[in-house]
Amino acid sequence: MTDSTLSLVAVNAGLGDPSSTRLLIDRLVDAAVDELGAVRATVEVVDLRDLAVDIARSMTSGFALGDAREAIARVHDADGLIVATPVFNASYSGLFKSFFDLVEVDRMQGKPVLVAATGGSPRHSMVLDHAIRPLFSYLRAVVVPTGVYAAAEDWAGTSGDTALLSDRVRRAAAELAAAMRAARPDLPTDGAPVGDRSTAAAGVDVTQTALEAAGIANFAKLLGDKG
């Protein structure tokens, strides 16, 4: 990626046509681009459904092949990721897991990742925290505090959830954008002077600080702090 542009890659494991997971990805991407503000960003959505055969062939050959190889390279090079899977039998889908089994752990280290999932039932929202988040923690990525789960009723707005889907999308996207910006302090924003490139070496620590600040703010809100 060029020095002055951030690369945002979204990985969609939805299989439906239309796909509710892709719909969620599109909302998250729009919100993230919005939150990145003046920072230039390139966006790419990888639909794993189109890569299913290459992913399966890659699994049996032991290395990424064909279009799957290209997609993995994009993920490796990304400054930030949005990943979303449908819930299948109370976990991520096999296709989602197979794809991320092809990445190199060292190329994921410190990468900001927003995790998301869709399901038929709201009761499986914990999939974010018991399956997807641990996978990316193992890969040493930096998972933003807010994960986004959308059940069928969330799309209709009838879930009665106190934090509406659009609020969760906005909050998660803001956290991802903050983490991506913090990891690249050299990027110009809003006409501000370009930072010293040497500070980019501290990217992971700066990212962590931004995430902690976002987490504390969210927690304060849950406790009723209106400020």
Ligand X SMILES: Cc1cc2nc3c(=O)[nH]c(=O)nc-3n(C[C@H](O)[C@H](O)[C@H](O)COP(=O)(O)O)c2cc1C
Q: CB neighbours of 93 closer than 8 A, spacing ≥ 6? A: 13, 15, 85, 86, 87
Question: Does position 121 bind ligand X by CB under 6 A?
Answer: yes
Q: How far is the CB of 80 from ligand X (least distance, A)?
A: 21
Tokens describing residue 181: 């910006």
State which residue, 24 or 187, has the beta carbon closest to ligand X: 24
Q: Site for ligand X (CB under 6 A): which residue of 16, 37, 66, 188?
A: 16
Query: Which amino acid is located at 153 in the chain?
Result: E
Question: Does position 147 bind ligand X by CB under 6 A?
Answer: no
Is residue 38 within 8 Å of residue 190, measured between CB atoms? yes
Residue nearest to ligand X (CB): 14
> Hunting for tokens 């966006």 — which residue is that?
43
State which residue, 80 or 86, has the beta carbon closest to ligand X: 86
Q: CB neighbours of 132 closer than 8 A, spacing ≥ 6? A: 83, 85, 92, 115, 117, 147
Query: Which amino acid is located at 30 in the chain?
Result: D
Q: How far apart are the first and last CA of the chain?
A: 38
Question: Does position 120 bind ligand X by CB under 6 A?
Answer: yes
Question: Does position 125 bind ligand X by CB under 6 A?
Answer: no
Question: Does position 146 bind ligand X by CB under 6 A?
Answer: no
By CB under 6 A, the count of residues binding ligand X is: 17
Note the residues at the interface with ligand X (CB under 6 A).
14-16, 19-22, 86-90, 118-121, 124
